[in-house]
Amino acid sequence: MFALSTKPKARLLKRPFTCARWLIPLCLVILGACHRSPEVQFFGDQEYPQKLSAWGLMQLDNQLIRLPSEQQVYELNTPLFTDYALKLRTLYLPVDTSISYRATDAFDFPVGSIISKTFFYPVNSSGAIALQSSWNGNPHDIDLSVHRLIETRLLVRQPQGWDALSYIWRNGEAYLSIIGDLITLPVDDGSELNYLVPSRNQCAGCHAENHTHGTIHPIGLKARHLNRPHPIHARNQLLNWQQSGDLSGAPQPALIPRNARWGENNGDLNLRARAYLDINCGHCHNPRGAADTSGLMLDHQASDPAHLGICKPPIASGRGSGGHLYDIVPGNPELSILAYRMSTTDPAAMMPELGRARVHREGLTLIEDWIASLSGVCL
């Protein structure tokens, strides 16, 4: 008869199998640790870290940006122009909290909220940046082998209000800068761009939409700017926040105001121009803003033609007038102070005063076309 062998051969076969049973989970743990998403940390205003990585808002991994699962990406209908920089916008809310809806002003965010905006440019093989107007807003498409990160700005909701911080990127890490910086960037057309990273006070100057109080608020996180499809999954951003419990008190998106997208050439010219002026100028040029004494109101609520600058003489513009008599001359952008101040890079005349060293060619064309479409005669 043939007998089964009792030699150690069978035991030798079992040992690798037994070993594999505990090695496989161990390998999975190790691999998981290598690709673990960052975890967001919140810091009080007396303990802001020097490195952006301490916040856990993003992680650079194999030329890609990894975001924590609890952080949300969002986009605006018409974004603020900043020397053609592309911007990755994210929002973090503490667990079991929600945003309170406001129809006109910035939403009311819970303490512990963090808004981040990372500025970056496409670069060529020589490291020169390309100046382009837009991107799709999807962080998965940011390949750091062909993009350069410049800065990340934070708005941090402390118990006493919002605080603004800037972190400048150097060699794979971003470092806190209270005083800001001027960074010279080579451009692929052979020129250079003097990119301004704002100081903490300069951030507050734009974000304090009510200059008498001086408190700062987000500029873009308002209903009319956010009422649009999400850049990744294409569902309405506000509806998505409502259904996830992150936004309370909001009506359905169809009942929420919505600004036009300035770059949609087939859209209504007046709505596109007003949306552009609202986001780029309206935070100062409004009845409560830092430019209220100018009499020029460019926020979305302005309706009086004189407040919009039509046939309105400047109150005090100095060199900023360019020798012109009115803020807007209907049908004549070449005679309008508004178009002139957008077309110059003279620091004493250009508008906006901060956030750009270049002329936004496409934005200027939009406003010139809008002024050219207006009717009327200045007497």
Q: What is the pLDDT of residues 317-357, one digit of tens each?
A: 678 899 999 999 999 999 999 999 999 999 999 999 888 99
Taking the C-alpha atoms of residue 300 and residue 302, their distance in angstroms, rounded to an integer, is 6
SS3 165: strand
Amino acid at 345: T
User: Domain-by-domain residue ranges, the chain?
Assistant: 36-259, 269-379
pLDDT given for residue 36 in this prediction:
55
Nearest to 251 by CA among 217, 229, 223, 225: 223
Taking the C-alpha atoms of residue 329 and residue 312, their distance in angstroms, rounded to an integer, is 9
What are the tens digits of pLDDT across the range 97-119? 999 999 999 999 999 999 999 99
What are the tens digits of pLDDT across the range 124-141? 999 999 998 678 888 989
What are the tens digits of pLDDT across the range 5-45? 333 333 333 333 334 444 444 443 344 444 555 799 999 98
**Whether the model pTM is above 0.85:** yes
What are the tens digits of pLDDT across the range 139-167? 989 999 999 999 999 999 999 999 999 99
**At CB < 8 A and 24+ separation, what contacts does 189-197 make?**
193/83, 193/129, 193/131, 193/357, 193/358, 194/357, 195/83, 195/85, 195/150, 195/357, 196/354, 196/355, 196/357, 197/150, 197/151, 197/166, 197/168
pLDDT given for residue 374 in this prediction:
98
Instruction: Say whether the peptide bond before residue 352 is cis (omega within 30 degrees of 0).
Output: yes
pLDDT given for residue 210 in this prediction:
66
Question: Tokens in use for 195?
Answer: 């990119």
Could you write out the three-class secondary structure of 8-47?
Answer: CHHHHHHHHHHHHHHHHHHHHHHHHHHCCCCCCCCCCCCC
